Amino acid sequence: MGQAITVTINGAKQTKDVEPTQLLVELLRDTLGLTGTHVGCDTSQCGACTVLVDGRATKSCTILAVQTDGAEVVTVEGLAKNGELHPVQRAFASEHALQCGFCTPGLLITAVDFLARNPTPTDSEIRHAIEGNLCRCTGYHNIVNAVRSAAEMMTTTAQPKVAAGVKR
């Protein structure tokens, strides 16, 4: 017996019929084809399936789709705007913060939520912020570099352009 839910996904409001047993990640991947969100462990541990639910980084394997009725969900597919990558995505590319890439969508989402709350983090704060996202390739070092670099990019562009034209 399905239940109708209305959920905004990457900015588009949609009404879908879901089974109560269906997990959010199953709705995203199997019903909507948003396969950028990965299932690593399906046991709430690895964080590969992390998406934003009402702005908070959430393991989409550990929330039912019906629980997102009325919510706003952002997946990795929703980070780029008008064909331009999100600063966190650009930083992951330039800092080589991935090898196999499986954990990357979840880490990007976690970093977006974290930097929204803490725009000028220390390295220690970054390391604690990504505790819920496992990466088996990188050893995390370049991920920390990327989050720091994204923070710098985002605070610089957020500032008023009073210094425009000044050589640095």
Query: Is residue 23 close enough to count as binding other proteins by CB under 8 A?
Result: yes
Could you tell me if 108 and 76 are in contact, meaning their C-beta atoms sit under 8 angstroms apart? yes
Among 20, 101, 119, 139, binds other proteins (CB under 8 A): 20
Q: Which residues pair with 72 in a beta bridge?
A: 8
Q: What is the sign, positive or negative, of the torsion defined by CA atoms of 101, 106, 110, 112?
A: positive
Closer Cβ to other proteins, 125 or 141, answer by number = 125
Binding map of other proteins across residues 86-115, x = CB under 8 A, - = no contact = ------------------------x---x-
Contact between 28 and 34 under an 8 Å Cβ cutoff? The reply is yes
Backbone angles phi, psi at 161, to 5 degrees: -85, 50
CA distance 8 to 11: 6
Nearest to 73 by CA among 63, 84, 83, 85: 63
Work out whether 67 is an interface residue with other proteins (CB under 8 A): yes
Q: Which stretch binds other proteins (CB under 8 A): 40-48, 136-144, 147-155, 158-166?
A: 40-48
Minimum separation from the CB atom of position 164 to other proteins (A): 36
Distance, CA of 2 to CA of 146 (rounded, Å): 42
Q: Are strands 72-74 and 50-53 parallel, antiparallel or unpaired?
A: antiparallel
Output DSSP code: residue 109.
Answer: H
Answer for which of 62, 72, 127, 152 binds other proteins (CB under 8 A) is 62
Which position among 15, 82, 131, 157 is part of the footprint of other proteins (CB under 8 A)? 131
Which CB atom, from 94 or from 118, has the smaller least distance to other proteins? 118
Please identify which residue in 10, 50, 89, 138 interacts with other proteins, judged by CB under 8 A. 50
Footprint of other proteins on this chain (CB under 8 A)? 1, 3, 19-21, 23, 26, 42-45, 47, 50, 56-59, 62-64, 66-67, 69, 110, 114, 128-129, 131-133
